[in-house]
Amino acid sequence: MPEQTPPDRGQLEDFLDRYDRAAVKAAHEVILSYSTSFSLATRLLEKQVRTDIRNLYAMVRIADEIVDGTARAAGLSHGEIAAALDDYERAVLAAPGRRFHVDPVLHAYAVSARRCGFNPEHVTAFFSSMRRDLNQTTYDEQSFEDYVYGSAEVIGLLCLSAFLVDHPVTDAQRSRMEDGARSLGAAFQKINFLRDLAEDSDTLGRAYFPGLAGHELTEEHKADLIADIRADLAHARTVIPLLPLSARTGVLAAAELFTTLTDRLEELPAAELTSRRVSVPRRTKLAILARAVATARRMTHTS
């Protein structure tokens, strides 16, 4: 039987490039299935940045699904879910060191983690917050801050790493942008907590906001939460002009989408927030994106 001629190096690279593209498409489909607003905002990022952000968020989404009921719905016990999260954390942390993964989402994440230099300490902090969701149902002020840092602020920092590839900045600029990234991540998380009160409480048995467990959301409490969210958003906006244009438009669009969502949450009585999920109509979303394109290009900053 004649020996088969092995493929040359060029052919092998073609195989890997094709798999890279397929993995990126898989990551995009994961995000598209769970968040239309996020998918719309990422369209305004430069192509490579868009790919990296989607790859990152697809990994985050998988971790969320492990702890947010999907694994339980599949029949996994609490111990099995905890083990699955541990396994996934180890896989994610090790992913950048391997060039091929049988899991397309993990493969796509690894491609971006290498390119962007994602800080493994931020990844570890993220999984620490996800682990809280397995065992903790109520929060005080300190544990709430810790949870938001790991679940959202470090994601902002990881996104910033993607934004700044090939865009050197001064230490002072990076420090300001890191503060802004954390504020924007925190705002997004708090907004999602507020709009998901019913699901978190009734389905998952969680009360993230301190002082809310076992109590109805009062108008005074809601006003305090909205004020806190607006303060985070306002601080983040001061930093957006520092971002490269390749990222600035998409970040601005996301910030404006969540600001509009905050406006809608503020308009509703507190009691309604515990029984319905607020959203922004698609037509409004598209108008926000169009304004972001024009506004981002006019933004200027000083060092």
Of 159-168, 234-243, 292-301, where does mean pLDDT reach its minimum?
A: 292-301
- 207 in a structural domain: yes
Instruction: Using DSSP, state whether 77 is helix, strand or coil.
Output: coil
Q: Is residue 177 part of a domain?
A: yes
User: What is the rounded average pLDDT of the residues 44-51?
Assistant: 95
| Domain boundaries, position 250 | 12-298
Query: Taking the CA atoms of the chain, what radius of gyration do you get in angstroms?
Result: 20
**Residue 200 within a domain:** yes
Domain count, the chain: 1
241 inside domain:
yes
Residue 237 lies in a domain: yes
Q: What's the pLDDT score for residue 302?
A: 43
Q: What is the pLDDT of residues 109-122, one digit of tens each?
A: 999 999 999 999 99
Q: What share of the chain is helix, strand, coil (3-state, %, to 5)?
A: 75, 0, 25
DSSP character at residue 3:
P
CB atoms within 10 A of CB 229: 24
> What number of other Cβ atoms are within 10 A of residue 272's Cβ?
14
Nearest by Cα to 264 from 291, 284, 293: 284
Helix (H) or strand (E) holding 230, with range, is helix 219-239
Q: How confident is the model at residue 25 (pLDDT cuts 50, 70, 90)?
A: very high
In a domain, 303, yes or no: no
38 within some domain: yes
The pTM for the full model equals 0.91
Domain at 209, CATH number = 1.10.600.10
Q: How confident is the model at residue 132 (pLDDT cuts 50, 70, 90)?
A: very high
